[in-house]
């Protein structure tokens, strides 16, 4: 760290000389390289068969990708694809509901002045501070009393409320829905619901897409909640599925190639999503930046 910050001084001179700033460029490329190592490794390792995995050089491509793919698909009658579908369902449906709930809640907190607004807002935000397991264990015990533990609901319902989503929508609503427009619509006799659904929601759309993405990634990546809630591996999301596969691999190293191929397939959808979406959606929106 220290040498890098010190050399930033040469950057100053370089910038003055109107040339490429090499030090920042180098630092950024090193950072990119570090972040790419495991991804490049998993891409290459997924092409290796069992013996190649432990014998050939790490970054030398192997010859078994299609075999690994068909082994993975055959494993327990294609349970891997079931896990992928489950993850897509939990993340997609959960994020959609989350965006809808955050839209209404954040809109109320951002565009109305009412008694108890700040108290409600702070209370919901404080939810961020509660350690996930403090909620997950009693949620599991309560849901099992209702006979809902180990069900799709037990994964979906606790994932809907997103304090961060409510917070983001509140910011977007306050910044992007003009009070004059709401007032004008009220004068014209529009109901509050109509103002919300026809005026506010379209105007808050970039923010809602951000909440959707944020929550999609959050649910897709969640490990603790399914680990606590689910026992039936037919309902597992991909994270928990691959974990159990690895845990078995400790005694059957043959499963390692399946785990590695599975890891690659599991990260492709999200990486693809980000690569596609960054063309028309700015990363900065994630941190609540209003001007995109």
- Ranges within 60-99 binding another protein (CB under 8 A): none
What's the closest the beta carbon of residue 1 comes to another protein, in angstroms? 6
Name the maximum alpha-carbon separation found in the chain: 75
Q: Return the residues of window 228-267 that contact another protein according to CB under 8 A.
A: 228, 238-240, 242-243, 246-247, 249-250, 256, 259-260, 263, 266-267
Q: How far is CA 236 from CA 98, 152, 226, 228, in A?
A: 21, 9, 7, 11
Residue 78 or 178 with smaller CB distance to another protein: 178
DSSP annotation of 114 reads: -
Residue 5 or 63 with smaller CB distance to another protein: 5
**Rounded distance, CA 264 to CA 179, Å?**
48
> Which one of 41-49, 63-71, 78-86, 202-210 is the stretch in contact with another protein (CB under 8 A)?
41-49
Residue 206 or 249 with smaller CB distance to another protein: 249
3-state secondary structure 161-185: CCHHHHHHHHHHHHHHCCHHHHHHH
Q: Which residues of 188-199 are buried (b: 16+ CB within 10 A; e: fewer)?
A: eeeeeeebbeeb
End-to-end CA distance of the chain: 31
What's the closest the beta carbon of residue 76 comes to another protein, in angstroms? 18
- Out of 95, 99, 166, 230, point to the residue binding another protein (CB under 8 A): 166
Note whether 280 binds another protein by CB under 8 A. no
Note whether 51 binds another protein by CB under 8 A. no
Q: How far is CA 82 from CA 12, 43, 200, 235, 241, in A?
A: 54, 22, 38, 8, 10
Note whether 183 binds another protein by CB under 8 A. yes
Structure tokens that stand for 283 in this block: 């990363």
Q: Return the residues of window 188-217 that contact another protein according to CB under 8 A.
A: 192, 196, 217
Q: Return the residues of window 109-128 that contact another protein according to CB under 8 A.
A: 109-118, 120, 123-124, 127-128
What's the closest the beta carbon of residue 133 comes to another protein, in angstroms? 5
What's the closest the beta carbon of residue 241 comes to another protein, in angstroms? 10
């Amino acid at each position: 760290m220290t040498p890098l910050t010190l050399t930033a001084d040469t950057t100053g001179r370089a910038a003055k000389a109107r040339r490429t700033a090499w030090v920042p460029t180098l630092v950024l490329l090193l950072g990119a390289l570090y972040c790419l190592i495991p991804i490049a490794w998993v891409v290459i390792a997924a092409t290796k068969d069992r013996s190649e995995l432990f014998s050939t050089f790490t970054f030398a491509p192997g010859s078994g990708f299609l075999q690994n793919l068909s082994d993975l698909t055959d494993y327990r009658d294609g349970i891997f694809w079931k896990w992928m579908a489950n993850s897509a369902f939990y993340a997609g449906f959960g994020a959609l509901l989350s965006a809808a709930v955050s839209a209404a809640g954040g809109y109320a907190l951002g565009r109305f002045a009412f008694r108890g607004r700040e108290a409600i807002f702070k209370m919901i935000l404080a939810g961020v501070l509660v350690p996930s397991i403090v909620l997950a264990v009693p949620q599991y015990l309560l849901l099992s009393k209702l006979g809902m533990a180990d069900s799709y609901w037990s994964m979906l319902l606790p994932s809907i409320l997103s304090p961060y989503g409510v917070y983001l929508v509140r910011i977007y609503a306050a910044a992007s829905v003009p009070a004059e427009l709401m007032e004008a619509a009220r004068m014209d006799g529009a109901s509050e619901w109509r103002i919300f659904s026809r005026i506010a929601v379209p105007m808050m759309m970039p923010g809602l897409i951000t909440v959707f993405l944020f929550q999609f990634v959050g649910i897709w990546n969640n490990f603790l909640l399914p680990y606590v809630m689910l026992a039936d591996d037919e309902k597992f999301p991909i994270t928990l599925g691959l974990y159990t596969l690895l845990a078995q691999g400790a005694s059957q190293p043959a499963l390692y190639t399946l785990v590695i191929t599975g890891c690659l397939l599991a990260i492709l959808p999200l990486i693809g999503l980000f690569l596609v979406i960054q063309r028309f959606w700015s990363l900065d929106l994630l941190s609540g930046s209003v001007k995109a």
